[in-house]
Structure 1
Amino acid sequence: MPSKTFMNLPKVKQERILEAAKKEFSEAMFSDVSINRIVKAASISRGSFYMYFSDKHDLLIHLLENFQNQFDQKLKSLGEAAGGNIKKLILGLHDYLFTAIAAEENCNFLTNYFTYSLSASVKNHHQARSMVSSMTKLRESLLEYVDKNQFDKYYEDDLETIIDAHLIILKHTLAKAYLQKTNSKKSRKDLEKLLGILKDGYQKKEEKNA
């Protein structure tokens, strides 16, 4: 967590430091991240850096928390716009995340973070482990915005599993689009197809009733 000293800085200076940090984390793997480059780009002294953050782990976690806060705000607006419909909500999430990932700096930053989060050096780092569990937090948030009445009562005890299935499909679609350099329109169409299969199933009607 940043110190009170950092939080008391003018917002403009805070943003300058965080932008310099984000750029560094986007351009270098965690082990190669240089505090010297960050402080130079942010026009602060190395001593000042350590008045604000304990180390680069601490700085990274703060950057991720900022991402999470921005995402939470967007999720709230998407949830309200979807009116409880899970398909509309997942499609809205797709469009938002696709745009965010398409930004090269964001993409590189997140790629480097996930590589870091899976490394041996971070396995005992409690704060970083908590960020890896963000999918659980996302599921809990979606449950707040999804109208349970749209699901068959037979599955009312399996809502978390249903949400997880939608999120897995969303992750798969975004990963596929990233790897295959698919545009947003094609990616969205792929997602709609998979969501349709999830909703309607893939068996013939006579097989379903057998």
Structure 2
Amino acid sequence: MPKETFFHLPLEKQQRIMRAAKKEFSRAPLGEASIAQIIKDAEIPRGSFYQYFEDKDDLYFYYFKSSHRNAQEELKKAMKKADGRLFDGFELYFAKMVEEVLQGPNAAFYRNLFMNMDYRSFHKVAPPFNRGIHPPLHQHQSDEQWQEFYDTIDLSLLQLESQEDLKILVKLLMHVVFSTVADGYRQLLDQPELDIDKIQAEFNLKISWLKYGAAKEIPKNEQRKEG
């Protein structure tokens, strides 16, 4: 999160800095983005940048948070609409977010994010694992809000033994969301336009494999283990 000095700036100056951040982070992924270019476009001294932000990463993930729709609320709404059915809820969530991410006003930023994502950035931006985005004072509140999300899921429909198992499954589903979005951007390497319906169908197929399994039958050696 930015330092308090950033929030004391006039709104116009805050917006100018954020516009510069959007321009640079849309041009290049985080690792290749230039602080020099950001401060040039924002028309601020280099020293001022470090009065407002700890480093480039600090600005990057704050820009993500400020430009990203409330994924937490979107997930909760999707689960409630699906009556607590986890897999159906994720299909609804993906359908709502995929077009915005792939074709919305921040598509260039998201392309750099998703196609250069590593373990650290995944845990920074993927709900409900984005602990690094929240300041420590607000982390407890965020954890409580995510508990509300977990409580919307009907555990009786899942072969899980605990809520810790549920968290692992949700994490797996978020990996499917992010990898499918990245595959959507890769489509542009081979074709001029994105096929949103194809991307949605691919996601739903992956979800069906997780929901029902991909194996036609249990191998005999696995049956012996279960017995």
Letter of the aligned partner of 1:77 in structure 2? K
Match of 2:133 in 1: none
**1:133 has 2:140 as partner:** no
Match of 1:126 in 2: none
Return 5+ residue gaps in structure 1 as ranges. Answer: 119-128
Match of 1:79 in 2: 79
Normalising by structure 2, report the TM-score: 0.65
Residues 89, 12 of structure 1: alpha-carbon distance in 2 compared, 3 angstrom cutoff: farther
**1:185 has 2:197 as partner:** yes
Alignment check: 8 A CA contact 2:102 2:184 kept: no
CA distance in 1, matches of 2:10, 2:35: 21
Residues 162, 37 of structure 1: alpha-carbon distance in 2 compared, 3 angstrom cutoff: closer
Match of 2:101 in 1: 101
Alignment check: 8 A CA contact 1:25 1:112 kept: no
> Deviations 1:149-198 (Å, cap 9, x if unpaired)?
2224xx33443343344334334433333323452212222222332232
Return 5+ residue gaps in structure 2 as ranges. Answer: 131-142, 189-193
Match of 1:33 in 2: 33
User: Per-residue deviation at 1:7?
Assistant: 0.8
Structure (1 or 2) with the greater helix fraction: 1
CA distance in 2, matches of 1:19, 1:188: 31
Alignment check: 8 A CA contact 1:100 1:106 kept: no
Match of 2:18 in 1: 18
State the identity as a percent. 28
User: Per-residue deviation at 1:65?
Assistant: 4.1
Normalising by structure 1, report the TM-score: 0.69
